[in-house]
C-alpha cells in the first residue's frame, strides 16, 4: 500500500468533507448514526470507542477511506476525493472526533 502523506492536512476541509460525506453513517460526533447502525451489517465504525482509538492508525484509516473496506458498506473514495482531501478528513476525525494527535498512533499519544 503506497499512500502519500502530506505534512499539513487542512482540518477545515476535513470537517467539511466529514459533514458532507461521512456523518450520514458515522454520526455527527463519530459515534455512529443510529439508523445506519440498525441497517448496515457490520455497522459503521464508532470512532469514539477506545477500541477504535487503539486499532486505527492514521495509515490504516487513510487506506480504508482510499480503498474502502471489503465486507462492509465503506466504499472507496479514491475516485471522488483527492489524496489531500482524504488525509484532511482522516486528520479531522483523529483530532476532533477521536481526540488523538492526527500524526501519531494512539499508543504514541502524550497526555
Q: Enter the pTM of the model.
A: 0.84
What pLDDT is stored for residue 105 in this prediction? 41
Tell how far CA 6 is from the center of its chain.
16
Helix (H) or strand (E) holding 36: helix 34-39
pLDDT in tens, 28-43: 999 999 999 999 999 9
Say if residues 75 and 81 touch (Cβ distance below 8 Å): no
Cα 87 to Cα 12, 34, 37, 80, distances in angstroms: 12, 26, 25, 13
What confidence tens digit (pLDDT) does each residue in 86-111 have?
Answer: 999 999 999 999 999 744 444 433 33
Amino acid at each position: 500500500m503506497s499512500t502519500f502523506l502530506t505534512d499539513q492536512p487542512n482540518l477545515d476541509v476535513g470537517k467539511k468533507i466529514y459533514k458532507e460525506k461521512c456523518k450520514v453513517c458515522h454520526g455527527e460526533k463519530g459515534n455512529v448514526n443510529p439508523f445506519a447502525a440498525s441497517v448496515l451489517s457490520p455497522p459503521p465504525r464508532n470512532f469514539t470507542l477506545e477500541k477504535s482509538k487503539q486499532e486505527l492508525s492514521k495509515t490504516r484509516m487513510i487506506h480504508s477511506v482510499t480503498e474502502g473496506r471489503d465486507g462492509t458498506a465503506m466504499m472507496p473514495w479514491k475516485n471522488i476525493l483527492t489524496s489531500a482531501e482524504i488525509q484532511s478528513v482522516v486528520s479531522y476525525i483523529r483530532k476532533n472526533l477521536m481526540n488523538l494527535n492526527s500524526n501519531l498512533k494512539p499508543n504514541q499519544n502524550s497526555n
